[in-house]
Each structure stands twice: as C-alpha cells, then as structure tokens.
A and B are shown apart, each in its own frame.
Chain A
Amino acid sequence: MAHKALATSRTPALIIYLLDVSASMEDELNGRPRIDIVMDCLSAALQQMVFRSTKGGQVSPRYRIAIFAYSDDVYDILDGVRTIDEVASLGMPELGTLRGTDTAKGFLEVEKLLKQELPHIGDSPAPLVCHMTDGEYTDDDPEPIVRRIMDMACADGRVLVENIFISDDILDEDIDDPTEWRGVTSGSELSNPYAEKLRALSSKLPESYQTIMRESGYSLEKDALMLLPGQSAELIEMGFVMSGATPTA
C-alpha cells in the first residue's frame, strides 16, 4: 500500500481528469481565459505521458486516461477510458464553458467509473483523480462522494485525489518560483474556506510522486498534499505535471 507500482504497458496507470467548465472558467488569469490555460496544461501533461511511454516511435499504453468535464451536467470527453496511445492519436479535445458548478455530479461519475475499474486494476498503480476547479460548487456538497472515493483502494494503495484550485486568494504568500515552492501541507495558512475544504479532500503526495516531481524540477516537501493553488499558469501546469507523476518502468 505504498503507491510504488510502476506504470507499464501491462500495469498501466489510470488517471481520471475531472474538469470544471463552468462559466467562470472564461474569466482571465494572466491575461488569458482560464479554460485556455487549463487545456494547454492538460495538453502538456498528456505530452509528458507520451514522452514517458515512447521508445523509438512507438507509444506504449502505460497510461489509461478518462476526462470528464462538468458544469450543470457531466460530459465524458473521451467516451470512456482510453490508453495514452489512443489519446495521442485522437488529439487534444476542445472544451467550451457552460454555466453552473455541479461538482458532486462530476465526482459521482468518477466514482461510478472507479467502481467499474477497480476490480480489474490488479497490480497497476493506484488510480489518480485530478480535479480542477475555479470555484465552489453550486449544487450538492461533493465531500461525501470524494471521501468514498478516497477510501477506495487497490493492491498499490488508496485512490489518490488531487485538486487544482484556480483562485488568486488561496495562500497569503506569493509564489514567485513554483520550482522552489514547498507545497501545501496540513499546517499551511489558507485564506479561502473552499481551499480549506479541498485540502481535506486532497491525498498526501506519495513519496514516489514526490521523487518524480523532484526529477521534474520541483521542490515539494515530504508532507505536501495534492492541492495546487492555481494562482498562475505555472502553478496550474505544476498540478497537471503532478497528475502524471506515476513512476514508470
């Protein structure tokens, strides 16, 4: 139960993206619509997975990907779980924004998918759910569902939940250089009540992920949680890099 299983073509890592596409995602961050930044970062994360899966010109199916977008409803962007080589062939999806933020409905779809997938996970790495949002839910509280998801487990450990929260009032401190930032811990001062809630719904960063993040140039500390304050495009990118930091063979 140590999150040490390697992502290989025989034991691929399952990564589920849950993306908030509510109207506020059209708001600008660093002069660009948030949704555009998120899609660029997701593209970079998928490219990193392709990089880790490529030998010669062949892409091995070391990762399996699902992408859900949610607003008032939930949309299965890839029409189920796709291997990274399939995602590479399909190309990046295009997402537009809608209206509300029914986060609970989004996590319900994730839970449903995990219930289908977990019996067949075997010796693969524990699945990771990467949730990106820019604001509080407008419908039911998602916490009970996220807690059920965090209690799900396979041989490699519990399902990991990562939250990327796009907001400029999460931390008191400014993060000038994300590569030097030590991460959010249980003791970090947070200035936003929803960030507090998301912290409680974020998994502890496994040591194996911390190692990969360090290899990618980041300095997250041992007790860091999988909560990324999306105060800049660089931090959002860091969050998506984290989502693909499963160790590979």
Chain B
Amino acid sequence: MSFDPLVIRRDFPIFSRTIRDGKRLVYLDSGATSQKPQQVIDAEVDFYRLHNAAVHRGAHQLAEEATDIYEGARDIVAEFIGADRDEVVFTKSATESLNLIAYAMGNAPLGNRFHLSPGDGIVVTEMEHHANLIPWQQLAARTGAALSWFEVNQDGRLDLSNIESIITENTKVVSLTHQSNVLGTINPLKEIINRAHQVGAVVILDACQSVPHMKIDVKELDIDFLVFSGHKAVGPTGIGVFWGRAELLEALPPFLTGGSMIENVTMTGATWAPAPRKFEAGVPNMAQAAGLAAAIHYLQEIGMDSIHAHELKLTQYLLDKFADLAPLKIVGPKTIEARGGSISFTFGDIHPHDLGQFLDSQGIAVRTGHHCAWPLNRKMGVPATTRASLYLYNTIEDCDALVAGILDAKKYFG
C-alpha cells in the first residue's frame, strides 16, 4: 500500500471537526500528544464494553479475556521494540517509567548494582525534558550521587568533546533522550553507549519522541532501559512503557508495592513476583494497554519506515520554507541530518504566545513556551519558542498553512 496521508487522516475522527469558526484543523502539536485513529478508540471502548475485568485475578471468563488482551498487548509492544515479553513493563506514562527507574535505584540496598552513594555519578544532557531531569536531580539529592551533563551547542547538538571527563569510572547511570522534543535533534547514541558500558554504567533512553516515528530495536541499540508513552504514538493517554534488559530487571528493586507484584506476603514482609509483574502493582490500565496494542498494530500496518520517510519529507519541506522566512530563526539543527520532525523557532519580536494565539485563530495548533525543557531554552538564549511537530497524518498543505499563518501574523502584529 502506498503511503497517503489523506487516506490516513480518514481514520482520525478529529480531522472531521473544525476549529475557531469553521477553519480546517492543522494539527502540528503531535510532539505534545498525537491524535487517535478510530481503531484505537474502538479497542479501548471494546475493552470496557465487552471484556472488562481485573487482569490476573478472578476465575471467570471475563478475567481470562481481559488477561489475554492485556498480556497480548505486552507481546505486541515487545515485538515492536525487539524485546522479550517479560522485559516489557506497563506504567501510566513515560514520566512514571523514568520515576520508576530513579526511585527503584534509590531503593537499592548496599551491594546491589544499582545502589548509589556519594562518589557515584549520574549523567544526563542539557536537552532533557523535565521528566528525564528532575527524577535524577532528586535521586542525586537523596543518595549524594553527583549529577553531571553533556552540554548542547548553538546548533542544538550534544557536545561530546569531553565525553571521557563526563562519563567516568564513577558513573553508574547515563540517561538521555533519543530525540529532543524541542530541537528535533537525534542524539549520537553509539559513542555515548560505548563509553557508558566501558565504565559499567547503565544507559536509559527516553524514546518518547523516537518510538512513535521510527523503527526502534532495543537489542540493536544496545541500551539497557527504554521508556516511551502511548499517547504520542497514536495510542491512549494513561499508558506508558518501561523496558529493561531481563537481568537488570531482576536486580532492580520495585518502586510501587502492593497487589499483583508479590510472590508471597506475611504480616511482616513480602517477596516479589518476577518482572514484569514486580513493577506493576495494582490493577493496571487495561483498556489503555488494549488501545496501545491497537495503536502499534495501526502504525505497523502502515509501516514505520514509510512513516519516518514521510515525516522526513515534510521536515525537509518546512526547513526549506523556513530558511527564506526572515526573521524566523530555527532553534535546533537547520539540516535534516540526525533530526526528526520537531521544529522550534522564534520569529523576530513576535512572542511565541502571541504567534501561537494568532495561528490558533487560523485553525493551526502549535506548541509555545519552554516545552518542559527550561534549562535547554536558557542555554539556547530564548525564553520561549514556537514548535511545530509533525506526524503521519500531516501534509504539505499543513506545512503551507503554517508558513502562510506566520506571514499573516507578521502583518497582524507588524
């Protein structure tokens, strides 16, 4: 099947509504959350309509069906990212996944490979989303470990020139984003992973902005942990994924404790079920797992390579248009190399909030502000930016609408 965004758009009911007095919806905010195809909405609704019961419990048919759907979703996620099924943990969000890892490490007793103490190091980058920065700041504060980071240069790329002094023999954890949600930069993982593994550190990849957009294989990447959220990958909100290598999940203590995650419980103590259940306390977000499975199925039917190629085509188109659109300044890489479809920019004296408001009046949805990456904004010397982020349902017409909208805003605020 040839890739046609106009055919794809028909699967997304939201594109049949209009915005601000009858304007066509130009949705350029998929970096914040993606829209949902009917197939995903149906999967979530069908779970409640037909199969609803608590998974892993109950000796009845509905519980069996619910368990099959939930565990089936785990198989689908595992296959999607090249993992083994017992390495895939469902959480409520990528933010929860990252906090899970950080808190679980904080629970690791002396002698456990994840135990952190003063003298140990945690490494992040300056381009992290707050969700992959603050949990590590907090873990460092609780354990006395030192937090250090790779800086970002003015082209929006990581500065790896001092990699050996940032990732040292003391480094235990390296956590970084695969693709920046602000800059669109795709980070050079190989060099960082090699160095981290050389010193015995684990590598955590925030793949929120990459898993929805390109084929990812965790074994091929040679990383240790990966997180992503369902809602940025045409799936529902309330479902995130935490993947870890089996032997690491075995060593990692639990974070949330309670029902489902135990092997045996007495009045004075408990032992843990093996992963993934060790990390899934309580009745999970089952309908959302069903929705995520439908989302992945949807993306795979279209093909991750086709989706990626389409986004690259649109990104290149916008980069070319933006190059001639003074006083527009791209904040991030200006070329397509190692870059995805998140394009942040400033536009002269027009503040992003005002530009975003104007674009909204034209039916164009963009994100404005610091995009939950305040330190990065400060580093780039811009208090706020406007961001257009692309996905499989966007078209050249959407890109043209954005450019026309920016030009009209220039006249309006002139």
Same complex origin of A and B: no
User: Which B residues form the contact surface with A (CB < 8 A)?
Assistant: none
